[in-house]
Structure 1
Amino acid sequence: MDVKAKVTELLQPYLNEDQFFIVDIQVSPSRSRSKITVLLDSDTGITIDECTEISRRLGSQLEELDLFDGAAFVWEVSSPGIGEPLTLLRQYRKNIGREVTVLLNDGQIRKGTLEDANDERILITETPVKKPKKKDPPASGPVEIPFTDIKKTTIQVSFK
């Protein structure tokens, strides 16, 4: 079993019956010091205290398993940063009502309010662009964007 799969397995009891969900597990092996980064979230967000508790419990198990054959390693449990792209349907649903920027596979950029998300697509109400570029279609209300067309979606931070 690889390290990522083992960490996923070990995390299951700490997800509080699906309250928390795994966004990503990154394993960076190294001769000097390997790193395991676990990104968790929930439908209502995850606190630093919750991440710390999971990190402590998981860390003691990881040390016992010796996943890197005696080599030193560090691990980190946190929530995805504000600039991290949305990767899971559950993240899209959590952020309905927020402003997003969607980079499409063909290079187009669509901006607007995330209205809905299902297994196949998202729906956004586009924000009018001050000076639209010729290649960008004009803003025209709700737009369906299939997940297959999306390269990356990020939440736009607003300080209004």
Structure 2
Amino acid sequence: MSTQTQIEQITGIINVLLATEPAFFCVAVNIKPTQNIKIFLDGDEGLPIEKCVYFNRKLYQHISGAGIFPEGEFSLEVSSPGVSEPLKLHRQYVKNIGRNVEVVFTDNTIKEGVLLAVTEQDILIEQTTGKGKKAITQQILIPFTNIKTTTVQIKF
């Protein structure tokens, strides 16, 4: 069975499980050559560790029962994507409205600012350049088609 087929089967299992948990969603499923399955889940209000444990146990049972790995030899990790991972889904953008983001464009130019709004087609960020009285604030509308990656920036 190909890795892509395995990912599709596991994604189907996740979707069935998440149908009863609408506050949570799947961001990505990866399988390493060592049969290590990494599942990234997120939630509209975050993903508590208790939910990671719950989903891990449920998914392990379902994946074992489905015979996706005939020898039964696989490991499973369920976690949230983490702050260093780029946003991939529209739902992640919506969840991060009000936070500082770094947007890398398809031409590799970079803009940083506060994510103000998200539509199906684009995002709106507010960027401030300069300091004090010389500070200039502008709003920038960025179509998703121009975005290579968007990463949440943590400011201390």
Global fold match (TM > 0.5): yes
Which structure 2 residue ranges, 5 or more long, are not aligned? none
Contact in 2 for aligned 1:113/1:127 (Cα 8 Å): no
Aligned AA (1:116): A
Contact in 1 for aligned 2:26/2:41 (Cα 8 Å): yes
Partners of 2:21 and 2:126 lie apart in 1 by 34
How far has the Cα of 1:20 moved from its partner?
Answer: 0.5
TM-score scaled by structure 2? 0.88
What SS does structure 1 have at the residue aligned with 2:104?
strand
How far has the Cα of 1:17 moved from its partner?
Answer: 4.1
Contact in 1 for aligned 2:122/2:143 (Cα 8 Å): yes
Between the two proteins, what is the percent identity of the paired residues? 38
1:133 corresponds to:
none
Count of aligned pairs between the two proteins: 149
What does residue range 13-24 of structure 1 map to in structure 2 within 5 Å? 13-15=16-18, 16-24=20-28
Partners of 1:42 and 1:68 lie apart in 2 by 28
2:7 corresponds to:
4
Which structure 1 residue ranges, 5 or more long, are not aligned? 131-138
TM-score scaled by structure 1? 0.86
| Off by >2 Å, runs of 4+ in structure 1 | none
Contact in 2 for aligned 1:125/1:141 (Cα 8 Å): yes
What SS does structure 1 have at the residue aligned with 2:129?
coil
Contact in 1 for aligned 2:64/2:72 (Cα 8 Å): no
Change (3 A) 1:71 1:58: closer
Aligned AA (2:153): Q
1:112 corresponds to:
113
Aligned AA (1:156): Q
Aligned AA (2:14): L
